[in-house]
Structure 1
Amino acid sequence: MRYGGSSQVSGKAVNFSVRKEFVPTLGTAVAAKVVDAGQPVVDTVTSGVDDGDSWASGLELRASGWYFDGLGVGDLSEPVMPGADETAKEFIARLGTMGFRPSAYGEASFTAPGQRVDVRATAEPGGDAAYEAPRGGGFGTWVWAFEVEKLSDTARQYIGKDVVSGFLEYTETNSNRARVSVESTVTEHTGVVGSELSDTITVDGFPDDHGSFDGNVKLGIGADRAMAQVSVWWAGDPNDSAGDEAYRPQGETPPAEDSNHRLIGVWDYPAVNGRIRVGAGAPDAHGDPVHIVAESHGWYVFVWSFDGDDRVMPASSAYDDAWERVRIWDVARPRKPALTTQVEPGIVRVDEPFRDTARIVGDVPEGAYVTFTAYEAVEEGAVPGMNGVLLDEARAEVDHTLFEQTVASPQVRSPKAGLVYWRASLRSRDGDVLVSHELGVEGETVTVEVPGDPPAGPKADPEPEKPVLSHTGAGVVAIIVVGSGA
């Protein structure tokens, strides 16, 4: 019997690693189309995959977000899309060349499609400090991306290139509402029945083009409200002027109308920045002259208000603002006090001391005092009174037994060049403004120059001059200096 041979073939086993790339997607939408100044900005980000693709089981992908704010109406063109092979870094750089740079950032992590994350914008990439919508308003928009260079080694095996969303996509764009500031003062703080009343109101914070935006349906943002309103209220005891004090304006908002509170009138004015004259024949927004006459004793209060729109927050002056009310008497009070103010000196250099003085002539009620406010230096032509202060309502006591006297503010110094505007006010014991003046009146502005510049003119004596006696024959003059300053 013959047996056939056999052979054994040995070989090396080969292992094949099989993987499938997939394209993740990002669905995004701002949580709120309108955000007020100072509030956080939140975006809702949802993960997904391209049709026909499958997310690798348990694979974590981290997305990066950039938020751009301060966009104007002219920037609301069609969305800007990334190129087919443009990375997120390249796209953000290209937006920078167009004048758009991120102001806030976001991050989100996903392990499967269909997951949703609400992302609150942060002030720094990867930071914890929350970003707050800017006071100046403007539109804002997000860009989101899966960046290959920021993914894990495992994730890079599945993701071939960056996935980047567009700039100014409709669902990703919101309006940050600006916060408006209003500063105002009535022309005269006291008067008698029959006096004509007027007010000067300075408004700042509206977008420069406010009133011209008709809205954007695609973005879901409404049109501007073109008008603000000024209302005048009366408060008092209609039967007895002695009872008017009980109805001194209280609270930020006007009360409901009743026998002691009455709305005198409401007038429209453009909802824009600048200075508004109300009353004394100055026209309203419709060109009609406005005259406001005090027909009864009591309190008259001017209130400026704006109802708000999708670009600007609602705003109003306060009903109990002492600068905005006039006390009306049945008959003239004798020897109404007059206030004459003068800064000393009128020209200084940065960090040199200066102050304000106030000369008071007339009857002053017991407990009266003068307040001094100095605003931070601004450029010539800037609206005064809408910035910070160097001195805030510094108080100087007044002697009610003197018919004529001069008081002075503490000294202040300005760390920067420009114009420093002052305001001095004589107030009653209860804080009512008896006499004051508008910002920018002659003698109440200090020019602060850069060190090394030749002085623009001679400097005044830093000590207040002894005031000249008025023709009333008063024989006593007091000079009171408050504080020594810096």
Structure 2
Amino acid sequence: MAAYDSTVGRGIDLIGINASGALRLGPHINQTPQIGGVGIDASPQWCIDGKKADPGPNDLTSIATLTDSAQHVPELALTTPQAAWLLNKYQGNTTDNENLAALGLLMHANFENTASVAHEIAGATQTQQPDVWARAIQYVAEARNSAAVGYEAGRVEGESQREGKLFNIGIHPDNADFWVPNIPVKITLTGPAVFKESGSTVWEGVTQDRPITLEWKASGNGVVQADYAYKTKFRTTLTKYGSDGSIQDMITYGNRPANDPETITGPGPSWRVIFDFQPTGTSQAASQEINLDGTISDTLTTSVDKSYGDGQWTQVNNQPVPVVYTATAYWAGREKPTTSTTIPAGAEVLGSVDVTATGEGQKLEAKLTTPKRGYVSWVWSVDKAKQGANSQYIHQNWADSYGLEAETTSENFDFRPLGTSNVADAKVIDKGTMLSDTFEAKADPAYRDGEWTRIVAPGASFDEGTFVPVTYRASAYYVSPTELPTTTDSVPASAELIESVTVVANGPGQIKATLSQPTVKAGFVTWVWEVKAEDQPADSAKWIKPGWADQFGLPDETTSVRYPAQIDSTLSIRDTKSGTYLVDDVWVTGLPANHPDFAGGMGFKADTATISHEVLFFPHGLAVTEANRDRAEKIGETVTIPARNGFYPSVGEISWLVKQDANGKNLPGTYVFVSSFAGDDRVQPLTTSVEDVTEQFTITPEPSIHTTLTHENTHVAPNTDKVELVDTVSYQNLKPGKEYVLEGTLMDKATGKPLEDGNGTKIVSTAVFVPETPNGTATVVFTVDGSLFAGKQTVAFEKLTQDGREIAVHADINDLNQTVTFSKLATTATDKSDGDKVIAPVPNAVITDKVCDVSGTLVPGTEYEITTALMLDNGDALLDKDGKPVTVTSKFIPAAANDCASIDITFDASKLAGKKVVVFETVTQDGKTISVHHDLKDSAQTVSVDTPPTPPTPPTPPAPPSLIRTGASITLAALAAAGLVVGGVWLVRRKRA
């Protein structure tokens, strides 16, 4: 009988099974320490070969895992896991032999190597040990209901949902309708889901007597995998020890193999979950050329990020999740922003609008206002913090980029032009001048952003571009000749419109309005500026808010057109025993009717109250002109009269006496009354002119004349046929406006008698003139034949008459200013070779002409030009080989007034034998003729061309001997000798001549 001890217990014997001895239904102790290197533990061993001998020490030689059950006895049939479950639960009860015997019976009934033996043991137990049989039946029922056989991984509810259930979790025994409780189990979720109760991805607990159901919820989007791990100490297999077949095989609950772990794991179901979604959108900001009210708007079309989750708008309880979109408008500045995924630090928030969407493809609109022009960039966003309980369905915050082209608008405003005007330097003007007003154009700071609009090109800076031109209307109104205007908001009906002009302001700054005609009425004028819609060009009008006008009668827009006062007076004298007094009758006109009562106001000063009256004396010789006013002498005291329209007779003062010399005679000169008004803001300043003859009283000296006779501003006249002499007569002390006659006579200085022309008539000339001033000049012109007076000096005598009465005479024969000298040349032409008057008829003949001015009219050091021309004595010009007159032009600078020039003239005289050549001379200076000498009969200017004698006829020479070759040379020599003889004769004759 196999060994057993108290560690395993004994069991109960059956008889009649083995041939000898009883069969013990009970456990065995281990007597084999190791098999194949595997240590054998001390767990009880159970026999499965009932009729074989028990193994002894080291009789067991193999080890294997037993998974299948033979189930020989149906009433006692168990699966291997059920058998293992029973061994684990009851084999530790070593003192209950019935218990141990029932376990031994069950091992034979299900794992006995021989089926018949199993049945035999079962029958013996049933008859011999009915309690053991009953216990075994009990254990079978218990194992079938408790042993873990089917490990359920569960099933899922909620595919493609945000939450759901994991159910049918537990362990089945053989009875499928029964669930094994109290088995530790661990369910692990891998993927975007957690258990709803704990919020964890792991659930741990024990199995129940019914299937477990667990609720889950998505924590993200994707696929979730559920894995189970059942942890149980019960084996589902048994270990079998084998022998060589002669002894019993044993099975045991011990030596648990690795393939029968305590924890049973396996994959559960997998499913897709939807936790959240990513709402996005695309927007298009509303663009407008002119933003008239500051409203800005943007439209967003909602969408879902298709690359995230299932790309659908999440629904909860079959309703779409509401999403709050936020539209934020940023003032990006005056430069177009660049696209950025972050908001620049300097971007100014204009405001934000929250709009709720409940699905994809919805159009959301956001409206805000901007207080200033420039670029506005919209940014749409979804902020989870704004979603409340729905934030769990939103994946993450979303925002589109800043500065996107479609979300950036150029917000340009209209503007309201106005301005301030100031007549400035036209505060006070004189009647007859152009009326003007200076205006500072600007935008109304209280309208919109207070900026003058520029036309900004797409994408350009708001600091660039052309200002919108504004047409201002400036109207000038005549208010009153004497009264200041009252400031009112509208133009009074009594105001008289002078003229309206339009002025274009091409941006803020100064402009000026000027009327088209000079002012014609003195008094007060005020300006009104306005901006009228009808004055604006179409391209500008849409940007301009018209309707502005400034007030009527503003002090800075009011001008005084000053009156031109008039002062007339008549001077008279009063002879008394104390002297001659000067008095004046004065008429004052042209002042405003209430002058000088105006006290000032609106920036205008009070009237000047008086007019000053004084007497000036211009001594004889000092012209009575404004230029000489400061050189005149003031006589006596200054008298004042009221600056009021009226007649002021006999204005006088005891100090206004005519000046006298030591002999008591009135000094010659002119007395002038001068009235002066300093002027004020209503009347122009006025000072009467000293040149006003009605204000003058003149004591005149005797008239006199002085004359200057010249020819072309010199005292030298040429001796040509027609010469003009001008006598400039200076006169003094004549009466302006009276007719005078000047009579001039040319005198011969040498004889003191009048010059006579070629007819023997005295040379006389007259001039009639009317002087404009007492002192001046007049001219008398003489035209004479200068060739008659070569070398003479003439003096002009002048006589001045008025109404046939001789007034003054100037007749001084020695007055150099009245003297003109007629030039005269003395010339001598000679043969240059010997200085005589006969020249040989040769090709290169040379005449030397000596030219002298015997009148002494040359100016030493002055350059003159002398032109000499050769003439034949018949009056024909001598021509050169080219057919041109033979002339020589020479420069001459005299050292003295009577210096002479010597000029050589080369010409071809070879064909002039027997003829006479006359030299003509012309002297000029700076292109003006000074003197001429053109006299064909002047022998001093004449040179004769000699006539050579006729040579004799040479004798016929004898014929040379024919044998003598030298005869020709002799003949030529003889001819040459003959020629020399003839030439010598001509030379001798020329010399003798």
Normalized against structure 1, the TM-score is what? 0.52
Cα distance, 1:25–1:250 mapped onto 2, change above 3 Å:
closer
Q: 1:147 to 1:290 in 2, by over 3 A?
A: farther
Contact 2:586 2:651 in 1 (8 A): no
Aligned AA for 1:326? F
Residue 60 (structure 1) aligned with residue 466 (structure 2): no
- State yes or no: 1:19 paired with 2:292: yes
CA distance in structure 1 between the partners assigned to 2:453 and 2:659 by the alignment: 81
The answer to whether the 8 Å contact 1:252/1:319 transfers is no
Runs of 4+ aligned residues of structure 1 deviating over 4 Å after TM superposition are 13-18, 158-161, 188-193, 366-369, 395-399, 428-432
Aligned amino acid, residue 171 of structure 1: D
Q: Distance in 2 between matches of 1:61 and 1:154?
A: 11
Alpha carbons of 1:248 and 1:77: their partners in 2 closer, same or farther (altered >3 Å)? closer
CA distance in 2, matches of 1:180, 1:209: 13
Report the 3-state secondary structure (helix = DSSP H, G, I; strand = E; otherwise coil) of the residue aligned with 2:515.
coil
Q: Distance in 2 between matches of 1:255 and 1:152?
A: 59
Tell me the residue number matched to 2:689: 318
Q: Unpaired segments of 5 or more residues in structure 2?
A: 1-283, 294-413, 456-467, 661-665, 703-732, 742-769, 775-993
CA contact (8 A) 1:141 1:172 kept: yes
2:519 & 2:677 partners in 1: Cα distance? 20
Would the alpha carbon gap of residues 152 and 295 (structure 1) be closer, same or farther in structure 2, given more than 3 Å must change?
closer
Structure 1 pair 194–42 and aligned structure 2 pair: CA distance change class (3 A):
same
Alpha carbons of structure 1 residues 200 and 160: separation in structure 2 relative to 1, 3 Å: same
Aligned to 2:729: none
Cα deviation, 1:264-307, whole Å, max 9, x if unaligned, reads: 11001111223222436xxxxxxxx7674435323432111111
Structure 1 residues 321 and 116, CA gap change in structure 2 (3 angstroms): same
Q: State yes or no: 1:140 paired with 2:537.
A: no
SS at match of 1:149: helix
Distance in 2 (CA, whole Å) between partners of 1:190 and 1:322 is 21
The 5-angstrom pairing of residues 378-389 of structure 1 reads none
8 Å contact from structure 2 (residues 523, 563) kept in 1: yes
- CA displacement at 1:23 relative to structure 2: 2.8
* SS of match in other structure, 1:73: coil
Root mean square deviation of aligned Cα: 4.1
Instruction: Kindly indicate whether residue 449 of structure 2 is the aligned counterpart of residue 78 of structure 1.
Output: no
Change beyond 3 A, Cα 1:279–1:49: closer
Residues 15-73 of structure 1: CA deviation (Å, up to 9, x unaligned): 78553354322221113222233333332222222425244433332111111246333
Compared CA separation, residues 195 and 27, structure 1 to 2 (3 A): same
Counterpart-to-counterpart distance in 2, 1:221 and 1:49: 30
CA contact (8 A) 1:368 1:398 kept: no
Paired letter, 2:518: E
For residue 264 of structure 1, the aligned residue among 628, 636, 648 is 636
Which protein shows a greater Rg? Answer: 2
Aligned counterpart, 1:183: 568
Per the TM alignment, residue 155 of structure 1 is displaced from its structure 2 partner at its CA by 4.3
User: Which AA in structure 2 matches 1:139?
Assistant: F
Match of 2:658 among 294, 300, 305: 294
1:214 matched to 2:586: no
1:146 Cα deviation (Å)?
0.6
The amino acid of 1:78's aligned partner reads T
The correspondence for 2:648, drawn from 271, 276, 286, is 276
Any idea what SS the aligned residue of 2:432 has?
Answer: coil
- Residue 62 of structure 1 aligns to a residue in which SS? strand
User: What is the CA-CA distance between 1:253 and the residue it aligns to?
Assistant: 6.2
Q: 8 Å contact 2:571–2:585 — kept in the other structure? A: yes
Change (3 A) 1:252 1:187: farther
**Correspondence 1:38 to 2:423:** no
Paired AA for residue 616 in structure 2? W
Higher helix share: 2
Alignment match, 2:677:
306
1:107 is aligned with what amino acid? T
Structure 2 CA distance for aligned equivalents of residues 28 and 16 of structure 1: 37
Alpha-carbon separation, structure 2, partners of 1:229 and 1:186: 16
Report the equivalent of 2:626. Answer: 251
Mark the CA change 1:277 to 1:133 in structure 2 (over 3 Å): closer, same or farther.
Answer: same
Q: 1:105·1:121 contact (CA, 8 Å) conserved in 2?
A: no
Match of 1:451 in 2: none
What SS does structure 1 have at the residue aligned with 2:579? coil
Question: Per-residue CA shift, 1:246-265, capped at 9, x if unaligned?
Answer: 246333663246xxx24311
> Is the Cα–Cα contact under 8 Å of residues 416 and 447 in structure 2 kept in the other structure?
no
Give the partner amino acid of 1:267: V
Identical positions, percent: 21
- What amino acid is the match of 1:308? G
SS in 1 for 2:594: coil
Letter in 2 for 1:81: D
One-letter amino acid of the counterpart of residue 65, structure 1: A
What are the ranges of 5 or more consecutive residues in structure 1 without an aligned counterpart? Answer: 1-12, 83-90, 124-130, 237-244, 281-288, 334-365, 370-394, 400-427, 433-486
Distance 1:250 1:57 in 2: 59
Count residues in correspondence: 295
Q: Does 1:230 align with 2:613?
A: yes
Are the structure 2 counterparts of residues 181 and 189 from structure 1 closer, same or farther at C-alpha, using a change threshold of 3 Å?
A: farther
Give the partner amino acid of 1:214. A
Take 1:328 and 1:292, find their aligned partners in 2: how far apart are those partners?
15
Contact 2:610 2:677 (8 Å CA) reproduced? yes
The answer to whether the Cα contact below 8 Å between 1:210 and 1:224 also exists between their aligned partners in 2 is yes
Find out whether 1:121 has 2:514 as its counterpart. Answer: yes
Residues 436 and 512 of structure 2 are in contact (CA less than 8 Å); yes or no, is this contact kept in structure 1?
Answer: yes
CA spacing shift, 1:203–1:279, aligned 2, 3 Å: closer
Q: Distance in 2 between matches of 1:325 and 1:56?
A: 66
- AA partner of residue 80 (structure 1): T
Asked whether the 8 Å contact 1:230–1:266 carries over to 2, the reply is yes
Q: Distance in 2 between matches of 1:312 and 1:250?
A: 25
| Partner amino acid, structure 2, of 1:225 | T
What is the CA–CA distance in structure 1 between the aligned matches of 2:630 and 2:539, rounded to whole Å? 67
TM-score by length of 2: 0.27
| Deviation digits for residues 85-140 of structure 1 (CA, Å, limit 9, x no counterpart) | xxxxxx5xxx3x31x2222333222354xx123324122xxxxxxx3244x53222
SS at match of 1:229: strand
Once residues 573 and 773 of structure 2 are traced to their aligned partners in structure 1, the CA distance between those partners, rounded to angstroms, is 15
Question: CA–CA distance in 1 between the matches of 2:622 and 2:541?
Answer: 73
